[in-house]
Amino acid sequence: MFAIGLYSISIVLLIISFIKDKQKTRMALNKSWKSFISILPAFAGVLALVGLVLTILTPEIISGIIGANTGIIGMIVTSIIGAITLIPGFVAFPLAASLLQKGAGVMQIAVFVSTLMMVGFVTMPLEMKYFGKKETILRNLFAYIFSFIVAFVIGMVVS
């Protein structure tokens, strides 16, 4: 759905651009292609890594670990899983909801959701290519610590 929208918008804009200025449009396409090709190796590596890691860490294993633990140790476990995996939101939220129903703690789930969205351990090589080592390490480290703060606040508000 989102992909279709994105494709339609870009194709419409491309046509408008082409009508307005052919030369500029050719330049734009050239730039798009060059930047895509230069980042493709990093993308391919990361996507393959995700495919490998996510298959070994099945939802069953993940839910087993979250369900078994509570307290700060449970939070550390869920935060590490969240930081490493790259589950899309539309899979992660229902998973989180069902884990909550099965008795997992709100804070464990909150820290999982937050690290999942903000910390990207496997995408770090890609991020470094764009913004350098320091930004990548700082952003991911801060986001990891911050996820615990978010979780504690959610824990206070929700329960």
Partner 1 sequence: MKTLKPYFLFILIIVADIIILLNNVKLGTLIFKSTYMNFSEMLGVIPPIFLLLGLFDVWVPRETIIRFMGEESGITGVLLSIFLGAAAAGPLYGAFPVAGIMIKKGARFSNILIFLGAWSTLKIPMFLFEISSLGVKFAVTRWLVDIIGVILMALVIDRLISGDEKLEIYRKHAEESICSTKR
List binders of partner 1 among 134-153 (CB under 8 A).
134-135, 138-139, 142-143, 146, 149-150, 153
The correct pick among 31, 71, 72, 73 for binding partner 1 (CB under 8 A) is 31
- What DSSP string runs through 86-151? ---HHHHHHHHHHHHHTT--HHHHHHHHHHHHH--STTHHHHHHHHHHHHHHHHHHHHHHHHHHHH
Between 27 and 68, name the residue whose CB sits nearer to partner 1: 27
Between 73 and 97, name the residue whose CB sits nearer to partner 1: 97
By CB under 8 A, tell whether 57 contacts partner 1.
Answer: no
**Helix (H), strand (E) counts: the chain:** 7, 0
By CB under 8 A, tell whether 132 contacts partner 1.
Answer: yes
